[in-house]
Amino acid sequence: MDFDPSYTAQQFKSVGTRPLRPDGVDKVTGRARYGADFNMPGQLVGRVLRSPHAHAIIRKIDTSKAEALKGVKAVVTAADLPDLTDGDADLYAILSNCMARDKAFYDGHAVAAVAAIDARTARRALKLIEIDYEVLPHVTDVDEAMKDSAPLLHESVFTDGVDPAPAKPSNVARRSQYGHGDVDAGFADADMVVERTYRTEQTHQGYIEPHACVASVNNDGTGELWVCTQGHFVYRQWCADLLGMDVSKLRVTSSEIGGGFGGKTHVWAEPVALALSRKAGRPVKLVMSRDEVFRASGPTSATSIDVKIGAKKDGTITAASATLRYTCGPWVGMWAELGAMTAFAPYDLKNVRTVGYEVLVNRPKVSAYRAPSAPMAAFAVESAVDELARKIGMDPVDFRIANVAKEGTRASYGPVYGPIGIGPTLEAVKEHPHMKAPLGKNQGRGMACGFWFNFGGQTCTDLNIGADGTVTIAVGTVDVGGSRASLSMVAAEELGIPYEQVKAIVADTSSLGYNDMTDGSRGTFSSSMATISAARNAIRIMRARAAQMWGIPVEDVVWEEGHAKAAGAKHGNLPPLSVREIAAAAGNTGGPIAGHSELVADGAGVSFATHICDIEVDPETGQTRVLRYTVVQDAGKAVHPTYVEGQYQGGAAQGIGWALNEEYIYGKDGRLQNPGFLDYRIPVCSDLPMIDTQILEIPNPNHPYGIRGVGETSIVPPLAAIANAVSNAVGVRMTHIPMSPPRILAALEAE
Amino acid sequence: MEYVLPASLNDAIGLLAGAKGNAFVLAGGSDLLVRMKGDFIEPDLIVDIKGIGELAQIVQTADGFTVGSAVPCAVMGENTALRKAWPGVVEAANLIGSKQVQGRCTIAGNLCNASPAADSVPALVAAGARAVIAGPSGKRTIAVEDVPTGPGKTSLAKGEIVEAIVLDKRPSNSGDAYLRFIPRTEMDIAVVSAGVNLTLGADGAVASARVALGAVAATVLLVSEAADAIVGTRLDDTAMEKLAQACSAAASPIDDKRGTVHFRKKVAGVLATRAARIAYERAGGK
Amino acid sequence: MSGIAVSTTINGDDVEFLCQAEETLLEVLRDRLGLTGAKEGCGTGDCGACSVLVDDRLVCSCLVLGAEAEGRNIETIEGMADGDKLHPLQRKFIEHAALQCGICTPGFLIAAKDLLAKNADPTEEEVRFGLAGNLCRCTGYDKIVRAVLDAASEMRGA
């Protein structure tokens, strides 16, 4: 491929403007079709039976009564999803999570499923399935699970990453370590040291649309799946692998997605729906209830984190270390490792070490949630940084600026940074009017920094020129936040035509080459790169067609402002040819005109943000109110600034919810006590102020337009920013997230 | 399951009294349908009382107000006379759930759902409201606090329906208020709550008072010691402290997903003092 | 057939349907009548995504039985635009980017319409408390509140 992704400074015409979104009218009129809004002829209703136990051996499942119920067309258990994983441990974990095999590992773990002619029959059938459980002791707390005395989830798990390899099995599945320098020497050099342990509770992405799909499998081995997902190509791969189907014979269409935030990058119901359809010989629609969404899908890790940071009186950090313990649910992930990598990313540290422990517990399998693992690490580190600044008598912003990472800094997780935005966000915060606004009684201001890597990855895009010169682009990254608009703007920019002449769609898996998920803030970054490449390929063809129409060498045709132009004085009398004119002649010049692109988008520029917030605390009740909130973040280049603001605001709001009120609450029996929006308290409209944003643009050198991902970083700083604000308001250091009123009141009284 | 929409109270009582299996009254449905959705109940019969004309009205009489058991809380909020006479009760009714829920839910349903954390109940108890209960053997009127007997349990016999909630005419120089603690600003169930209703004497001091607490016991508590603490006072600091202490002492809550024992006891006192101040101001106290 | 026959009016049209006694209005709208604009986010009245108007009263259709629709006048998101002319709230939601994923949007629009019908000139705080029964997880509500305030301003001027 001769595509050069390097950044070139240019004057944009389309990029950076704020046009209306192409999916807007469908979404305001109720016409947009989400996961549960689609039906197939002859479709059955699927429902899943879930374990009420946190940890239990499944001795026997008797489905005979359910199968005998009139209207029931299929009942499936693990026996209907045989193990085809061929030693692939990650895939086996997915299989075991979709349908419990010999053991149920958490309250809500799927153990059987039915397909019936209607919801009433399906519900009755579930009650007729008899399961003989042997209930086992369980563990849900991260620190408890690490103890030798804790109930073991798997006899076969021995801590990976320690030398020598342990002889006894453990719930600690893996240890990872990052850093450089000599931290012991660094701490010995320090004038002041802050050392604390922090805890964060488990949260859920909280998308408003429950998981939903319609599956149809034919007896010739072909199938279709309509599903709300962040990555239909990846879902296709997993489902085909788990069901023993050919990838090419399973066509997956992504619906409009009603929120994902990382939570729709994992399969739960989809392989089950396909298995039900295969058994019943009819399409099956499977929609999770909200209760199921909370009990079985989603959550992020609960954590326990030790942080130690030392500094000289002049404000130089001499050493920093962190030990991060993250729950994974019943199977290993790399959640603590991501925490260990991101913890100290904003800083230029001579001596740094982070250690992560992946801990297995009887909770749902952890899945990605917007900059997964980074917010908890940032909460711990940024709280300690604030405390240390105070201890040595420096302004917290100045203290951070004194130690900030910049181009050429070796990151705590290994690589050397290119041009990055953390310094500029801190400088912007320092000068921001918010920092100077007066505060009232019981009010405090806090600020904090956040980092996310951003991903790139495999991407494929088609760009087709219509007979009238308008353009369609087919992309394979699901649109979770407005990427159909931003990618249309990029296509328009590259081709030199108006935005309104481009229409983007998300293509199904049979219409386009493979694409990785929309995750890691890669959607606009990766697909815009592929779109630029596809557009340049189409331009090459259009130049050739124009040359043919004019009868001149293609080398003499240039592309400017949406037109082919004949270059040089000798062709001076040839009027430029528009896309429309070239397209109109296509039938006589070689046929349809299209540009394709298949690439691995490398070089996703890392992303940094700094947030400021003001909080008021009611000292008699511990109640908090967010008075003012400001987000400053580097976007590289904001393609559609309004949608970039939307990402900043949305991430901040999720972080505010996490900081103050959202948490999974388990009873002593290991059952989730709050699987609904009533008691899992995401912020409501009246909880929040307007969320101010400031977009900085430090171009990513590895993207033609300088674009960086923007979706995730905004959830990283809020936990710490709010903790710092609460601490400043009431003079008590909060070390446990969420800072719910009972926790704040207890901390105030303990003081 | 059968759904019936009777046109008269007698028909409704007859249906409920004669029902085989699980029969439920449907007023607003904001609790009933949630329990059905969660598979906590499987009704055999649902009797929708919204077709019974007299239950769907708020009637102002010489003695006060009669709020029919099928009147949505939102309609209470739109009744100017009721709002003026019993602002605390109406506020409490309009704190239940969202605007959407308030368009359906009723104070009679809130009472009969018998949740210790029900928002309207402490305000009703403080107000001295009574429930008119109709059943196969006629009508009876009881204090609202005698309807719930424990979480999810009521004193209603088979076939009985709350027909209306009765609120007395207000003496002059009186006021009521209701406050609840929730972690968010809306949409939560009360972690702890307090209703205060008081009347001032000619001297401007509190002549009589009723203080009720929610979510701190199996049923809403009417705390006479708390009322005693403020009677005869102008809510000076000492009285307020005594009120708070009496409320904290009377509270016997549990630790659960919404709050701790310690938090609830402490905040019960805080809310009661704040509600008392509002009620006092509404009564014209200075 | 144990179904209940119901005659009702939806978005101005006479509609008849059969439903089972336990079916909610939301299930009837979505699964029997093909009106999938109202969404089920929770099924328990906590998210507002299924908001509709019944006799001009804002409700969660997940907390109404289908049988209760008898003789009522129901308004859903599908009836909000006037033919091809969007309601000002619909237009302002698009202009202000007051939606990202859009799953909560129909419920917000119905609730906002009800809010403005009762209060043509709300403050920011009134909008925030008036829409507290509708959850949005994408936007942080900022642009939703701005869109509603702007639509209110335009509607007052019109």
Break chain B into its structural domains and give their ranges. 2-168, 174-282
| Cis omega (within 30 of 0) for bond into A210 | no
Strands C4-10 and C73-75: parallel
If 0-12 CB within 10 Å is exposed, 13-18 middle and 19+ buried, where does residue A559 land? buried
* Residue C5, phi then psi, degrees to nearest 5: -85, 125
Token pair listed for A402:
């004194």
Nearest CA distance, B243 vs chain A (angstrom): 15
Q: Cα separation of B164 and B186, whole Å?
A: 27
Mean pLDDT in chain A? Answer: 97
Selected for mutation to probe chain C from A685, A692, A714 (highest C CB count within 10 Å) is: A685
Token pair listed for A405:
């990472």
Selected for mutation to probe chain C from B41, B49, B98 (highest C CB count within 10 Å) is: B98
Average pLDDT in the A707-715 region?
96
pLDDT, tens digit, for every residue of B157-168? 999 999 999 999
Q: Cα separation of A535 and A492, whole Å?
A: 9
Residue A679 is nearest to which of B39, B257, B262, comparing CB atoms? Answer: B257
Q: Cα separation of A155 and A708, whole Å?
A: 43
Lowest mean pLDDT among A296-305, A422-431, A518-527: A518-527
Residue B35 is inside which H or E element, if any?
helix B32-37
* DSSP state string for A88-123: -HHHHHHHHHHS--SEE-STT-EEEEEEESSHHHHH
Closest C-alpha among A217, A139, A233, A206 to residue A666? A139
pLDDT at residue C158 in the model: 67
* Residue A660, phi then psi, degrees to nearest 5: -105, -40
pLDDT at residue A572 in the model: 78
Q: Cα separation of A500 and A518, whole Å?
A: 24
Residues with Cβ within 8 Å of residue B131, at least 6 apart in sequence? B108, B111, B141, B142, B143, B144, B146, B147, B162, B164, B165, B166
Closest C-alpha among A659, A649, A655 to residue A693? A649
Query: Residue C22's CB: how many other CB atoms inside 10 A?
Result: 21
Q: What percentage of chain A carries pLDDT values higher than 70?
A: 100
- Contacting partners of chain B (3+ CB pairs under 8 A): A, C
Task: Let me know how long chain C is.
Answer: 158
Nearest CA in chain A to C109: A28
Q: Cα separation of B125 and B196, whole Å?
A: 9
Strands B161-168 and B130-135: antiparallel
Instruction: Flag whether residue C63 sits within 8 Å of chain A, measured between CB atoms.
Output: no
How far apart, in Å, are the Cα atoms of B253 and each of A618, B121, B144, B189, B256? 22, 17, 21, 15, 9
Instruction: Flag whether residue A419 sits within 8 Å of chain C, measured between CB atoms.
Output: no
What's the pTM value of the predicted model, to 2 decimals?
A: 0.97
Average pLDDT in the B122-149 region?
97
Asked whether A123 and A139 are in contact (CB, 8 A), the reply is no
pLDDT at residue C2 in the model: 72
- Three-state DSSP at A417 gives coil
What residues in C contact A34, CB-CB < 8 Å? 39, 103
- Order of all β-strands in the sheet with A303-311: A172-180, A352-360, A317-329, A303-311, A192-200, A736-737
Residues with Cβ within 8 Å of residue A219, at least 6 apart in sequence? A281
Closest C-alpha among A344, A341, A303, A299 to residue A324? A303
Pick the CATH number of A303-454+605-750 from 3.90.650.10, 3.30.420.40, 3.30.365.10, 3.30.200.20: 3.30.365.10
Asked whether A454 and A521 are in contact (CB, 8 A), the reply is yes
| CATH number listed for the domain at residues A24-32+456-601 | 3.30.365.10
Lowest mean pLDDT among A353-362, A562-571, A728-737: A562-571
Q: Where are the domains of chain A?
A: 24-32+456-601, 35-136+227-257+264-289, 303-454+605-750
Q: Cα separation of A127 and A117, whole Å?
A: 16
Fold match, A24-32+456-601 / A35-136+227-257+264-289: no
**Residue ranges in chain C modelled with pLDDT below 50:** none
- Contacting partners of chain A (3+ CB pairs under 8 A): B, C
Q: What percentage of chain B carries pLDDT values higher than 90?
A: 99
Q: Cα separation of B6 and B22, whole Å?
A: 17
Nearest CA distance, C140 vs chain A (angstrom): 5
Q: In chain C, which among 64-123 make CB contacts under 8 A with chain A?
A: 76-78, 80-81, 86, 90-91, 93-95, 97, 99-106, 109
CB contact under 8 A, A746 and B263: yes
What residues in B contact C63, CB-CB < 8 Å? 28-30, 33-34, 100-101, 104
Lowest mean pLDDT among A453-457, A536-540, B89-93, B175-179: A453-457
Q: Cα separation of A183 and A438, whole Å?
A: 40
Rounded to the nearest 10 degrees, the angle between the axes of helix A374-392 and helix A718-730 is 40
Sign of CA dihedral A670, A676, A677, A678: negative
Closest C-alpha among C35, C32, C10 to residue C23? C32
Question: What domains appear along chain C, each with residue ranges and CATH number?
Answer: 4-76 (3.10.20.30), 88-157 (1.10.150.120)
Asked whether A3 and A597 are in contact (CB, 8 A), the reply is yes
Residue B247 is inside which H or E element, if any?
helix B237-250
Nearest CA distance, A269 vs chain B (angstrom): 20
Q: Is the ipTM of this complex over 0.90?
A: yes
Token pair listed for A441:
């009684």
Rounded to the nearest 10 degrees, the angle between the axes of helix C88-95 and helix C105-118 is 130
Q: How far apart are the first and last CA of chain A?
A: 64
Token pair listed for C102:
């859009």
Q: Cα separation of B143 and B111, whole Å?
A: 11
Fold adopted by B174-282: Enolase-like; domain 1 (3.30.390)
Strands A624-634 and A691-696: parallel
pLDDT, tens digit, for every residue of A154-194? 999 999 999 999 999 999 999 999 999 999 999 999 999 99
Average pLDDT in the A628-641 region?
98
Nearest CA in chain A to B271: A621
CATH architecture of B2-168: 2-Layer Sandwich (3.30)
pLDDT at residue A298 in the model: 87
Instruction: Flag whether residue A27 sits within 8 Å of chain B, measured between CB atoms.
Output: no
Asked whether A458 and A644 are in contact (CB, 8 A), the reply is no
The DSSP symbol for A313 reads: T
Nearest CA in chain A to C33: A37
Q: Cα separation of A660 and A625, whole Å?
A: 10
Asked whether A715 and A721 are in contact (CB, 8 A), the reply is no
Residues with Cβ within 8 Å of residue C49, at least 6 apart in sequence? A208, C38, C39, C40, C41, C42, C103, C104, C106, C107, C134, C135
- Domain A35-136+227-257+264-289: CATH superfamily is Aldehyde oxidase/xanthine dehydrogenase, a/b hammerhead (3.90.1170.50)
Residue B184 is nearest to which of A665, A673, A687, comparing CB atoms? Answer: A687
Token pair listed for C105:
């949007």
Nearest CA in chain B to A290: B38
Q: How far apart are the first and last CA of chain C?
A: 51
